[in-house]
Structure 1
Amino acid sequence: MSLNTNSEYGARPRFWFAVYQLLWHLLLPLAFIRLAWRARHAFSYMHHIPERLGFGYSKPVTQGSIWIHAVSVGETRAAQPLIEAYLARGESILLTHMTLNGRRTGKQLFAQAIASGKIRQVYLPYDLCWSVEHFLKTFKPKLGLFMETEAWPTVVFRCKEIGLPLFLVNARLSERSARRVNRFGKAGCALFQAFAGILAQTEFDAQRYRSLGVTNVQIVGNLKFDVPLDQHLVEQGKHWQQDIHAGNRLMVCAASTRDGEEVIILKAWKGLLLSNAFAIAPLLCLVPRHPERFTEVADQINAAGLKFRRRSEWPDTPKECAGLDVVLGDSMGEMPMYYSASDLVLMGGSLLPFGGQNLIEACAAGCPVLLGEHTYNFQQAALDAIETGAAKRVFGDLLLGESVALMEALKESLLNTTELARMSGDAKTYSVEHQGATNRILVALDQQNFSLN
């Protein structure tokens, strides 16, 4: 795979690009209105506004860094092993995000490197010609790495035009996304052809990129398998699990749930508790994906008539859960603790057509996983986990709010503790056997015909 400099390959489609720019300028006020609306709950949305236009960067500005763009929380966490590998090589990192939570996650993960100046965090500017141009001229990165699915036309085409090698790494592309790209014909395909290379997670992803006419595609695996769990949080979770097990209870973690899924889960959970199938009722830990929905979900738990307590009400690891039906995981960055305390994980984003959330972290903690039918964002990972025995699929018309199938799947799993123990071992094996993407990405990039010196 080599850096392709053919001007016809991935050339900017001028008519459609002009329409795209016009739309961006017309919609720009709405983007700021959206930020102001979100600032009602977190004023931090109003911080660093000039950066979103490619200006207002504090000095000193380090040029010639390796630029890694991780749009939000999941991509930032996935980028961790790659960022740490480049830091170990003595490289400086320009880390960009689009979301507030992504920036918060990066600040938490790399606090020491940010304080020492080895990592610079900024927002990626909105995809306008003048904002992108000023950003690139300010930082002048020597290599760009976009995580997973990010492909902003202005950025991608401009990097190609100025000879800045820009790669899509840990790349994935669902069937639905590929169909959307194809609707734009040559204009859509040209966007991915303009990348210097695409380092895909799986053969499924690679084939979809190739179907768009991209030839410089390589399969490297999934970086999420290389992300280390925070051992302090793991230990906290194990202590919590000991307390739960001491009361002869099991715990299910409904992780990274999305809007509409909590109602289904709570209905299933209430049915499970009313079934009297357990001498001592299990505990549900419900962790919504987006923090702005914590209060909304708390209201849903109340409306379901279930006794609950917020994680934020405990100064330390939750311990006394007697009498509770649900713990609301209203905290950020503590998923390793929730997973390590749980006997079973119900993966959010998969019950309704959101594409699923990251099951890999749960498996790394040795926690068996229940998946809904909608896992197209983690297609290969889900299939491999099921084949390995680390995960099971829940079938049922959950889209229509039917919770009986989910209740039965939860009940069957929790009553079969022998199978849970086997699945726990299989989950750990699965997570270890799929590691190594970081090294494969570094090797692939090192083999390119450009210099990082």
Structure 2
Amino acid sequence: MNRTLYTALFYLGLPLVAIRLWLRSRKAPAYAKRIGERFSYGMPSLQPGGIWVHAVSVGESIAAAPMIRALLQRYPQLPITVTCMTPTGSERIHALFGDEPRIQHCYLPYDVPCAAARFLDRAQPKLAVIMETELWPNHIHQCAKRGIPVALANGRLSERSARGYGRFSKLTAPMLAEMSFFAVQTEAEAQRFRDLGARPETVEVTGSIKFDLTIDPQLLQRANALRGQWQALERPVWIAASTHEGEDAVVLDAHRRLLTNYPNALLILVPRHPERFNSVFELCQREGFATVRRSTGANVEAHTSVLLGDTMGELLFLYALADSAFVGGSLVPNGGHNL
């Protein structure tokens, strides 16, 4: 499949994309908003001529933060346009950079030539930086047509994903050849990009950018102070974070067993997707756990058994509150999450 066939199929699939947005908006109403941006219409005013960074969702936005801050320092005269694809990613970008006047944000339009062209005509970036593996053939081709170099940052490519890309070599190889630089995490991934068509001189192993994340030295102090406010300094506290549907019941069952030996144990339960906050809270109540929602700001009392982490941008702080942690995604066929 070449890019022409890919584009035709994408256009034909747009009604399905619309249906998917509608279905997702039933659980997460934010998906029904800013739809025009997904086609390069109704976009916010963008100052042209800067650097464009694409981070598909929350995890990539957090990983990109040190790089974006470094770009702000190194190029003080340039605006930086940060795009994503999800409402949660958008919220995270606003939380990270909402006070920075040189950061401008919008959704990345879908990968059809007309939408990609309109976006680039508005942003006119001098450089495009894509986080991890969010590669869109038409966006990359439109950049190449305009002479805009495209770099992949924190690149990763599993063996399984490489096989998937390899099945569409007529689409993948020209796309990778049009890119200017690949900063990838490991040599194995570097070789996979080369095998798929990336020019060898453009591929470099740089390690994972996630290790460049700087943690606020006050974080543990604030967490300790809050536990003191809860009179929970001596309570065993554990967190189950980024859980998916089907995992919460298992976690709560484990917590019930834990309470047999540690009756004062506290569980911090953090669903990965905001649209599940209400249903998980109802599950905790049905299972008979005294539950406090973090979003209410209410104190955790001695009888509280579960704290539901239903806020955005606080996960690092919630981890700091806990003595031990379980990272979700591995109790269902999802593949787990990067620790």
Normalising by structure 2, we get a TM-score of 0.90
SS at match of 1:39: helix
Deviations 1:229-252 (A, max 9, x none): 355654432223345675631111
Alpha-carbon distance in 2 for matches of 1:151, 1:181: 11
Alpha-carbon distance in 2 for matches of 1:245, 1:189: 59
What amino acid does structure 1 have at the position aligned with 2:185? Q
Residues 1:101 and 2:81 are matched in the alignment: no
Paired residues of 2:236 and 2:323 also in contact (CA < 8 A): yes
Residues 1:296 and 2:282 are matched in the alignment: no
Q: Summarize the Cα distance change of 1:27–1:86 in structure 2 as closer, same or farther, 3 Å threshold.
A: same
- Cross-structure match for 1:190: 174
SS at match of 2:2: helix
What amino acid does structure 1 have at the position aligned with 2:303? G
Residue number among 6, 21, 44 corresponding to 1:35 in the alignment = 21
Paired residues of 2:137 and 2:171 also in contact (CA < 8 A): no
Alpha-carbon distance in 2 for matches of 1:204, 1:40: 41
- Cross-structure match for 2:307: 327
Residues 1:81 and 2:61 are matched in the alignment: no
- Cross-structure match for 2:128: 144
Residue number among 33, 55, 73 corresponding to 1:47 in the alignment = 33
Measure how far apart 1:304 and its partner are.
Answer: 3.1
Measure how far apart 1:71 and its partner are.
Answer: 1.0
- Cross-structure match for 1:344: 324
Deviations 1:405-441 (A, max 9, x none): xxxxxxxxxxxxxxxxxxxxxxxxxxxxxxxxxxxxx
Residues 1:271 and 2:257 are matched in the alignment: yes
Normalising by structure 1, we get a TM-score of 0.69
SS at match of 2:52: strand
Measure how far apart 1:167 and its partner are.
Answer: 0.8
Deviations 1:73-104 (A, max 9, x none): 11111111111111112121011111111111
Deviations 1:203-256 (A, max 9, x none): 332233233242221111222222233556544322233456756311111111
- Cross-structure match for 2:288: 305
Alpha-carbon distance in 1 for matches of 2:194, 2:231: 50
SS at match of 1:352: coil
SS at match of 1:50: helix
Q: Summarize the Cα distance change of 1:330–1:58 in structure 2 as closer, same or farther, 3 Å threshold.
A: closer
SS at match of 2:99: helix
When structure 1 is superposed on structure 2, of 195-204 and 74-83 the one drifting more is 195-204
What amino acid does structure 1 have at the position aligned with 2:85? M
Paired residues of 2:227 and 2:233 also in contact (CA < 8 A): no
Alpha-carbon distance in 2 for matches of 1:96, 1:208: 26
Paired residues of 1:94 and 1:119 also in contact (CA < 8 A): yes
Paired residues of 1:235 and 1:337 also in contact (CA < 8 A): no
Paired residues of 2:80 and 2:103 also in contact (CA < 8 A): yes
Residues 1:160 and 2:170 are matched in the alignment: no
Q: Summarize the Cα distance change of 1:69–1:209 in structure 2 as closer, same or farther, 3 Å threshold.
A: same
Residues 1:239 and 2:244 are matched in the alignment: no
Measure how far apart 1:336 and its partner are.
Answer: 2.0
Structure 1 unaligned runs (5+)? 1-14, 360-453
Residues 1:200 and 2:184 are matched in the alignment: yes
Q: Summarize the Cα distance change of 1:330–1:16 in structure 2 as closer, same or farther, 3 Å threshold.
A: same
- Cross-structure match for 1:70: 55
Alpha-carbon distance in 2 for matches of 1:247, 1:75: 33
Alpha-carbon distance in 2 for matches of 1:313, 1:50: 33
- Cross-structure match for 2:212: 226
Paired residues of 2:223 and 2:321 also in contact (CA < 8 A): yes
SS at match of 2:43: coil
- Cross-structure match for 1:250: 236
Paired residues of 2:237 and 2:321 also in contact (CA < 8 A): yes
Measure how far apart 1:268 and its partner are.
Answer: 2.0
Count matched residues.
335
Measure how far apart 1:46 and its partner are.
Answer: 3.3
What amino acid does structure 2 have at the position aligned with 1:335? L
- Cross-structure match for 1:284: 267
- Cross-structure match for 1:398: none
Q: Summarize the Cα distance change of 1:66–1:209 in structure 2 as closer, same or farther, 3 Å threshold.
A: same
Alpha-carbon distance in 1 for matches of 2:296, 2:104: 34
> Superposition RMSD on alpha carbons, in Å?
2.2
Alpha-carbon distance in 1 for matches of 2:207, 2:331: 25
Residues 1:133 and 2:110 are matched in the alignment: no
Alpha-carbon distance in 1 for matches of 2:13, 2:279: 29
Alpha-carbon distance in 1 for matches of 2:192, 2:269: 35
Alpha-carbon distance in 1 for matches of 2:220, 2:250: 29
Q: Summarize the Cα distance change of 1:45–1:231 in structure 2 as closer, same or farther, 3 Å threshold.
A: farther
SS at match of 1:345: strand
Deviations 1:1-43 (A, max 9, x none): xxxxxxxxxxxxxx53222212221221232333333334554
When structure 1 is superposed on structure 2, of 285-294 and 168-177 the one drifting more is 168-177
What amino acid does structure 2 have at the position aligned with 1:297? V
